[in-house]
Amino acid sequence: MLQSEAFVRRIGSGIIIMFFMSFLFYPTVIFAADQNKITHPANPAQSFKNWTPDQVHPGIIVVKFKQAVNLNKETLTTDNPSLNDIISTLSLEKIRQPYVYLEKSDMEGSEELFRIYHFKLSEEQDIKGIISQLSQDPMVEYAEPLYIHKPDVIPNDPQWGENGDLVHIDAPSAWDIVIGDTGDVVVAVVDNGTIWNHEDLVDNLWQNPGEDFDGDGHTIEYISGSWQFDPGDLNGLDDDGNGKIDDVVGWNFIGGSNDPTGTADHGTPVAGTIAAVNDNGIGGASVSWNCTFMPVASLGSTDTYEGIVYAVSKGADVINCSWGRGGSFSAYEQNIIYLAYNNGSLVVASAGNDGVNNDAEPHYPSSYRTVLSSGATNKADDMKASFSNYGQYSVHVYAPGVSIYVPYPGGYAWIDGTSFSSPMVAGLAGLVKTKFPSMTNDDIRNRILLTSNNIDYANPQFAGKLGAGRINAFQAVDPD
């Protein structure tokens, strides 16, 4: 843990990939990348074959039906005889419908998520065999394990650095053109929790207008020397009808509560990279210059992707995912990413800290279509950080990810990893959206890609494998 006067340097990372060329040629959800480069299996339902037990939550199967199914959660039976035959052979402990609250939602694609269930079985059963059996049922669109996600954190020695990352991407020149607090852009931080009332974050905190029960225009108040939830809004009711009671500033899927603080040792510095308060005389600065951030704690919960759905449902313009995993493609996870894209939320994710080529070794969610993935460079030059993953098609842009000065539990820290280059890209996406509010996901993504600086010159051994290069904030927001 970090004390207020002690600075700790850690390496964290989220992990993710995508296909650079696809951004330039295909304007909708499915990219026109060279099909030989796409690592997704032709039949997603068969992706279950490639996982190992340590990569998944024990005994949980994600099942999506092709059409709505009437399921009795008490008797664990359905209105489909063939499915009942399969269920009757299982030691089924519980069936959970994670997105039941979307039944009446007008969010595009919510009907699809309403058809997704989590089957909880006793762990000694043959999960792979059951998945195979379920996948063959004509009523089932896909069945697969529920994957575990985590940040790639590599401890390192304490080290001071120079605050040159924002200068290197030419953020000060960008701020002459636009700053984030001139708009209403929201960037969601889907992570392991955020100290939302940190002194260098709280002024940029998203507050849920749907839970402002007392109608005073805010859901937090400064009480007895600290920022707290507005007592006038804590009525014990789900005022905005999203299945979450008193989610006044976000939600915690890990603890099932309305306090998104969670563990906070990873999510807090990620949030700070995106939205640390600029021009307040304390702490550091962020590329977005005061865009609003939405804290969602789901990394470390049973299903990290529920946090993405929450962020989409609450209107996030950009969603940062500084986490991930290797292993198999998941039709369920891609389903959620498409939902985000189709509802106007641009997902940005970290490429990982393994120093590998993600074209050959995919990392998810960054490998999913429509995700903008970020690798890391050194702080004040364009050399790829030694730990950063790379790829011609799978890692699209780079941003500084070494010695980034950020808010941290107990104070501040210098921190390393693609977990912190990704939110720098997400923060820039928020700044671009503020400057050009009518831009679509594709417009923002392509704007960042086309205005980035080629860095092959500084990385001859990786030439042609570094996507569009290192982001340039000024060029991204310059209208000329």
Alpha helices in 189-284 (DSSP H): 267-275
Q: Examine residue 140 and state whether it is found in any structural domain, yes or no.
A: yes
pTM of the model: 0.86
- Whether 11 shows a pLDDT value over 50: the answer reads no
Q: What is the mean pLDDT of the chain?
A: 86
264-298 burial by CB neighbour count: b if 16+ within 10 A, else e? bbbbbbbbbbbbbbbeeeebbbbbbbbbbbbbbbb
- The pLDDT-based confidence of 50 (bands split at 50, 70, 90) is confident
Domain boundary among 120, 147, 174: 147
353, 398: one domain: yes
pLDDT tens digit sequence for 437-452 = 999 999 999 999 999 9
Instruction: State the DSSP string of 319-355.
Output: EEE--BB-S---HHHHHHHHHHHHTTPEEEEE--SS-
What CATH number is given to the structural domain containing 171? 3.40.50.200
Confidence (pLDDT) at 361: 96
Q: Examine residue 235 and state whether it is found in any structural domain, yes or no.
A: no
Q: Examine residue 307 and state whether it is found in any structural domain, yes or no.
A: yes
- Whether 12 shows a pLDDT value over 70: the answer reads no
Q: Which contiguous run of DSSP H or E holds residue 432?
A: helix 418-435
269, 122: one domain: no
Q: What number is the average pLDDT over the span 253-282?
A: 95
CA–CA distance, 399 with 419 (Å, rounded to integer): 11
Q: Examine residue 213 and state whether it is found in any structural domain, yes or no.
A: no
256, 197: one domain: yes
Confidence (pLDDT) at 105: 84
84, 155: one domain: no
Tell me which amino acid residue 415 is. Answer: I
Q: What number is the average pLDDT over the span 163-192?
A: 92
16, 87: one domain: no
Task: Please name every residue paired with 62 in a beta bridge, in sequence order, or none if there are none.
Answer: 118, 144
83, 61: one domain: yes
Q: What number is the average pLDDT over the span 269-296?
A: 94
Q: Examine residue 237 and state whether it is found in any structural domain, yes or no.
A: no
- The pLDDT-based confidence of 33 (bands split at 50, 70, 90) is very low
CA–CA distance, 308 with 295 (Å, rounded to integer): 11
430, 363: one domain: yes
160, 303: one domain: yes
Confidence (pLDDT) at 163: 54
Confidence (pLDDT) at 49: 59
Q: For 114, which DSSP code?
A: H
Confidence (pLDDT) at 182: 84
Which among 473, 208, 445, 203 has a CA at the least distance from the CA of 348?
Answer: 445
86, 197: one domain: no
21, 110: one domain: no
CA–CA distance, 442 with 313 (Å, rounded to integer): 20
Confidence (pLDDT) at 84: 85
What is the rounded end-to-end Cα distance, in angstroms, of the chain?
46
Which among 180, 164, 399, 408 has a CA at the least distance from the CA of 279?
Answer: 180
- Whether 453 shows a pLDDT value over 70: the answer reads yes
Q: Work out the percent of the chain whose per-residue pLDDT is above 70.
A: 87
Pick 124 or 297 by higher pLDDT: 297
SS3 of residue 370 by DSSP = coil
Q: Examine residue 222 and state whether it is found in any structural domain, yes or no.
A: no
pLDDT tens digit sequence for 299-333 = 988 899 999 999 999 999 999 999 999 999 999 99
Domain boundary among 128, 147, 166: 147
pLDDT tens digit sequence for 80-131 = 887 888 888 888 888 899 998 887 788 898 889 989 999 999 877 888 999 9
Q: What number is the average pLDDT over the span 278-302?
A: 93
pLDDT tens digit sequence for 171-184 = 999 999 999 988 89
Is the Cβ–Cβ distance between 15 and 325 less than 8 Å? Answer: yes
Q: Work out the percent of the chain whose per-residue pLDDT is above 90.
A: 69
Q: Examine residue 456 and state whether it is found in any structural domain, yes or no.
A: yes
CA–CA distance, 467 with 396 (Å, rounded to integer): 4
Confidence (pLDDT) at 106: 83
- The pLDDT-based confidence of 459 (bands split at 50, 70, 90) is very high
Task: Show the domain range for 346.
Answer: 9-37+151-206+249-477
Token representation of residue 28? 């909708």
Q: Which contiguous run of DSSP H or E holds residue 431?
A: helix 418-435
Q: For 205, which DSSP code?
A: B
